[in-house]
Amino acid sequence: MPIHWLCGSNINNSVVESRTLCVVDQNTEFEASDNTETIVRRNCTMPIYHEKQKRELCALHALNNVFQDGQAYNKQMLDEICQNLAPSSMLNPHKSVLGLGNYDVNVIMAALQLRNCEAVWWDKRKNLDILNFDNIIGFILNMPSPLQWGLLSLPIKRKHWVAVRELDGAFYNLDSKFKSPDTIGDREALKSFFRAQTRVKECELLLVVSKEIADVRGWKFENGVYGGACAS
């Protein structure tokens, strides 16, 4: 049975300025290449790709951010997935009827499979200490987010997709609504971050892993399985 977790976004057409200068810490340099993405260069060595919010495309942004590749997916690809999931539906249940995005979890799962990856739903009752981070490519959160109208925040919550990824030994919150990536820290800091987020009833966590790892449940330490990566 299809699952329906929807994403939300700012209800306006505003975009981030074409060039911005953002700082996460003293060793971080940001270069904004256009109004929808930021290339972050920490210590001018390893870049961090951070795609920013546009319309209701947070699922698209989360996918590209988790793979660190702005060419990994596009709106046309996700719309085609929606069509394949519900070919006979007049009103597609997997996206916004207005065509602005708002893709559900089924689209995320199908999109990951195109890259030989799987989305593993995390049981919030489990202890995060069992996670084998070496076998996890990244994480995608589905979480409540305030509805925006321009600069006004409305007292309404909608669901929003957010990517979290480890880069060069540190984990980053690559929320497309943020002006820049937010440093979470090491693995212990990440577990604390996830514990805080998943205390919210409406928040769900997906692990992004290769199909090989998903098949053997190698994202857990209990199996003692290492290796395997999906296309990037």
State which residues form the domain around 209. 28-220
Report the alpha-carbon angle 56-60-64, nearest 5: 145
Hunting for tokens 């069992």 — which residue is that?
130
Q: Report the catalytic residues.
A: 58, 160, 175
Tell which residue, 103, 138, 166, has the closest CA to residue 230: 138
pLDDT more than 70, % of the chain: 69
**pLDDT for 150:** 53
**pLDDT for 108:** 96
**Alpha helix (H) ranges present in 33-170?**
58-67, 75-85, 105-113
Q: Which two tokens stand for residue 54?
A: 């546009």
Q: Long-range pairs for 89-93 at CB < 8 Å and ≥24 separation? A: 93/2, 93/4
Q: Is the pTM of this model over 0.85?
A: no
**pLDDT for 98:** 72
d(CA 161, CA 200): 15
In a domain, 230, yes or no: no
In a domain, 75, yes or no: yes
pLDDT digits (tens, 9 = 90+) for 182-204: 999 999 999 999 999 999 888 99
pLDDT for 111 beyond 70:
yes
Of residues 64 and 23, more confidence is placed in 64
In a domain, 212, yes or no: yes
Break the chain down into helix, strand, coil percent, rounded to 5.
Answer: 25, 30, 45
pLDDT for 2 beyond 50:
no
Q: What is the dihedral of CA 97, 74, 69, 21, to 10 degrees?
A: -70
**pLDDT for 190:** 98
d(CA 8, CA 12): 12
**CA-to-CA separations, 12 to 56, 127, 136, 223, in angstroms, rounded:** 10, 39, 35, 47
pLDDT digits (tens, 9 = 90+) for 6-48: 444 333 333 332 222 333 443 444 444 444 555 554 444 568 9
In a domain, 12, yes or no: no
In a domain, 23, yes or no: no
**pLDDT for 123:** 95
In a domain, 112, yes or no: yes
- Identify the CATH number of the domain in which residue 75 sits: 3.90.70.40
The total number of structural domains that make up the chain: 1
In a domain, 48, yes or no: yes
Of residues 58 and 88, more confidence is placed in 58
**pLDDT for 30:** 41
- Strands of the chain, DSSP E: 28-34, 37-42, 46-51, 117-121, 138-149, 152-167, 170-173, 182-185, 204-210
In a domain, 14, yes or no: no
Q: Which two tokens stand for residue 22?
A: 């953002």
